[in-house]
Structure 1
Amino acid sequence: MIAQIDDALRILVRNEALGGSEVDVVFDAPTKDWAARRNAPTVNLYLYDIREDVRRRERGLSEQRGDDGYVRTRRPAPRHFKLSYLVTAWTQRPEDEHRLLDQLLRCFLKHDALPDDLVVGPLAETGLVVPLTVGLPPPEDRAFADVWSALGGELKPSLDIVVIAPVDTGIVYQAGPPASKGTQVDMSDLIGGGADLGRRQHTAPPASVRGPRRRRPR
């Protein structure tokens, strides 16, 4: 699932933001050592956080039926995970970096979700859309300065891209065979020890068996 999102973002950036220009698109951690080794204009999409979007979690099971119409399996609803990318531009001049960031921002603003033709493989198994956001404020428990501190680098202009991916849990519950004998009740006396097993709902016999109905005398 993560690999498919990486590929989708790479294609989106290359085709719509960069327009075929000779700019590298990488997913490396933008540390000081990496920045020192870089020798070409680069767009970096660093995946720095993965966490479940618990607000989207659904309860219950979905049913899958066979050709005969009977339930065969039951599955939990997909879970939704937020993949956060730190998007930065690296060139020799800050002005060029700002132009790249502007192109990237305009590219991502065009899409509320990943395009359908880029949702493939495990990412497409649930049949759900894959939402995408750009530049939203970070959660209260995380700041971008903390991310740069963890990378050991200096704070740099960046875009925060969040892709919310639906993920099939892979859990499958096999359904039991359909009931064929109807409902019955077993009753027992816990004190006296008596029992009445297999009690079913009473069904009146046909009229031909019951005989003619008697009238009450007036």
Structure 2
Amino acid sequence: MKKKYGLIGYPLTHSFSKQFFTEKFEKEKVDAVYENFEIEDISWFQDIVRNNPDLVGLNVTIPYKQLIINFLHELDKAAEEIGAVNTIKIKRIGERIHLKGFNTDIWGFETSLKPLVKNYHKKALILGTGGASKAIKYVLKKLGINYISASIEELQKNEISYKEIDKKMMAERLLIINATPLGTYPKVETFPPIPYEFVTEKHLLFDLVYNPEVTQFMEKGKAKGAIVKNGYEMLLQQALKSYEIWNA
């Protein structure tokens, strides 16, 4: 039986995963398929697992990274601590199905960020407080980098509003991570509202967005001499890690 992998989320208009894995399987002559399961409601998840007996692994994207947890039997330690899952390993023993959740965004982000971090990147400013920021916080904590998050919603602990980001904060927090969808195609003209005039060549601007290759956020950082990076390598690394988990 041909192995099947897939992605669940909604909407799935531009899925990196399907293209990436389809090309990988063709190139490496792997007898497997990767399908998109666009589901409007998380409750449909159980039907997908039940109706696809050849399904051995799933990726999870927006808006289900947190909601999916209620349907899983087990979580690995990191996924449990973060409270978000983007990879599911499916084991079938006779009629029994065992679903284990992982978070490979951690691996993707750390692998991509680490080579760029200098000893003066001791404090970070995370833009956005959605699901993606959870993995980022986990990695920063692991690397011993202090962080604070900017939010447009009601402020929680360790969060600030965008209007609080001033010259002093920009001078202190030399690592700035965009964990919002601002700048993503087709709305390429958008960018997080921070005072870019205070960006310096010591700053590192990391954007989780990967389409377009260079966002307005990155462009504005580059103009000030900052090091900039997009989210493509993070995406690539988390996908490879998912595959490793499914086949371990």
The answer to whether the superposition gives a TM-score over 0.5 is no
Say which one has the larger Rg.
1
The structure in which a higher percent of residues are helix is: 2
TM-score by structure 2 length? 0.23
